[in-house]
Amino acid sequence: MIRLVLVAQEPFNAEPPRSALISSYVTPVDFFYKRNHGPIPLVDDIDRYYVSIRGLIENPKDLFMKDVRMLPKYDVTATLQCAGNRRTAMSKSRTVRGVGWDISALGNGLFLISIFCSRITSSKADELSSAKPIPLFSEFLSAIWGGVKLADVLELVGIPKYTSVTKSGGKHVEFVSIDKCKEEKGGPYKASIPLSQATNPDADVLLAYEMNGEPLNRDHGYPLRVVVPGVIGARSVKWLDAINIIAEECQGFFMQKDYKMFPPSVNWDNINWDSRRPLMDFPVQCAICSLEDVDVIKPGKVKISGYAVSGGGRGIERVDVSVDGGKNWLEASKYQQTGMQYIADGMNSDKWAWVLFEVVVDVLLNTQIVAKAADSAANVQPENVETIWNLRGVLNNSWHRVHVRVGH
Ligand code: MTE
Ligand code: MO
């Protein structure tokens, strides 16, 4: 076995302001909140590190880094978004579990979005109360991921491209991590995706060893992590240890007992986890990053900017901004970095990655500024958080609103 050293948790990092998030198209590693509040595994012998590929296949294999390096490398620009992004705003409507503590841990109009989806448990409250403010959109990251396609890796174990079921009945690909977590009763973090997605080269599912051209760092999953573009972050398993081809979807905690969306009527007394499927694609989302929640601005022209992204490979069609709380709308201009190393075949480069938007508006009075996006399938964001409230506080993609006060 490889030698793993578990290190103690690192301290929380200071928060980058909202504006840092959109200061560049590709989020620099340093601007991204490091989720160091769990034991992060350290793989210190890269030559002996391997991913064991087993299950309902004919040719099991231990995949070493040298095997990985022999496969073609791809760079995919993809936005990773936690299902808990913007959770705090949902909690303001009606409390969602596990975030009661967050507001008091923070000050000055900075709000905690989910710290780390897998860590949203009240037992973490103590750690958090001593923490520094957390980034508003901490569960959000656009990066250029460098690695190999899972579809190519699965070919090495005899599963052809575009396979949805193996001869022995494998239908799902389970990713098992090295890290251990409380929710798995001390077992490893894990998740799965359908085999059809894993073997589809156009789905761009990667085993990534680079982020923004640098080797993946420990926080983000060194030496190898899964990146499932367009899907909630929870399925992009870090510190990959094993890949299992299985008949049913992964039965892990974060697939079966978390990251599901329930209707507003479901509460902790009547919840039936089996009644819902695990969240996969994330919905259309956008947020204003150039203004804090309550900002005092000078009257006149204001530049409103932020990000918009949708899941499932659906690009952003349009971003609308309102300066009167949603009565009248202006279309924002949107942009992506040109010259990206990777543009998905025949698709827009926003297939997996966010667009940044910008519009200059006139603000003369105190008001609410609102942004909403539509994606390429004409999906739109819900107007109010109440309509999508759910007890786990996931997928808050309601119109993003900031209040501005005009001062002189
Ligand atoms: N992988 C492992 N091994 N352990 C984890 O706790 N968390 C998941 C996912 N992969 C997690 C994991 C969740 S919920 C998210 S949102 C993303 O990793 C966050 O990835 P990042 O820390 O690189 O931003
Ligand atoms: Mo997450």
Q: Among 62-66, 137-141, 356-360, which is the least confidently predicted range? A: 137-141
Residue 269 has pLDDT above 80, yes or no: yes
The two structure tokens encoding residue 186: 């001390």
Residue nearest to atom 21 of ligand 1 (CA): 220
CA 96 – CA 267 distance, rounded (Å): 10
Q: Tell me, in angstroms, the distance from the centre of ligand 2 to residue 233's CA.
A: 5
Ligand with smallest separation from the Cα of 37 = 1
| The predicted structure's pLDDT at residue 138 | 45
Backbone angles phi, psi at 53, to 5 degrees: -110, 115
- Better-predicted residue by pLDDT, 138 or 159: 159
Query: What total number of domains does the chain contain?
Result: 1
- Better-predicted residue by pLDDT, 32 or 67: 67
In a domain? residue 193: no
Half-sphere exposure of 58 (CA within 13 A, CB side): 9
In a domain? residue 255: no
CA 363 – CA 367 distance, rounded (Å): 8
In a domain? residue 21: no
In a domain? residue 62: no
SS3 for 211? Answer: strand
The two structure tokens encoding residue 6: 């578990």
Question: pTM for this one?
Answer: 0.85
CA 254 – CA 272 distance, rounded (Å): 15
Residues with Cβ < 8 Å from 218, sequence gap 6 or more?
40, 41, 42
| The predicted structure's pLDDT at residue 237 | 95
pLDDT interval class at 176 (50, 70, 90): very high
In a domain? residue 309: yes
Give the CATH number for residue 289. 2.60.40.650
Q: Among 25-39, 48-62, 286-300, which is the least confidently predicted range? A: 25-39
| The predicted structure's pLDDT at residue 140 | 65
Task: State the DSSP code for 281.
Answer: B
In a domain? residue 269: no
Task: State the DSSP code for 233.
Answer: G
Pocket lining: 203 vs ligand 1, CB cutoff 6 Å: no
| The predicted structure's pLDDT at residue 32 | 56
Question: Is the four-CA dihedral 174, 177, 182, 185 of positive or negative sign?
Answer: positive
**Residue to substitute in 238, 253, 258 for testing ligand 1 pocket (most ligand atoms within 8 angstroms of CB):** 238
In a domain? residue 344: yes
| The predicted structure's pLDDT at residue 349 | 59
Residue 182 has pLDDT above 60, yes or no: yes
Q: Which atom of ligand 1 is nearest to the CA of 116?
A: 14
Alpha helices (runs of H) in 130-283, residue ranges in sequence order:
150-156, 195-198, 253-256
Half-sphere exposure of 321 (CA within 13 A, CB side): 26
Q: Which atom of ligand 1 is nearest to the CA of 35?
A: 22
Q: Tell me, in angstroms, the distance from the centre of ligand 1 to residue 29's CA.
A: 15
In a domain? residue 326: yes
User: Amino acid letter at 289?
Assistant: C
Q: Tell me, in angstroms, the distance from the centre of ligand 2 to residue 139's CA.
A: 7
Give the N- to C-terminal CA distance of the chain in Å, as an integer. 66
Residue nearest to atom 10 of ligand 1 (CA): 237
pLDDT interval class at 97 (50, 70, 90): low
Residue 336, Cβ neighbours under 10 Å: how many? 18
Q: Tell me, in angstroms, the distance from the centre of ligand 1 to residue 332's CA.
A: 32
Containing domain of residue 355, as a range? 285-406
Residue 117, Cβ neighbours under 10 Å: how many? 23
Pocket lining: 82 vs ligand 1, CB cutoff 6 Å: yes
Q: Give the tens place of pLDDT for each residue, 37-85.
A: 457 888 989 999 999 999 999 899 999 999 999 999 999 989 888 887 7
User: Are the C-beta atoms of 244 and 174 separated by less than 8 Å?
Assistant: yes
Pocket lining: 220 vs ligand 1, CB cutoff 6 Å: yes
pLDDT interval class at 302 (50, 70, 90): very high
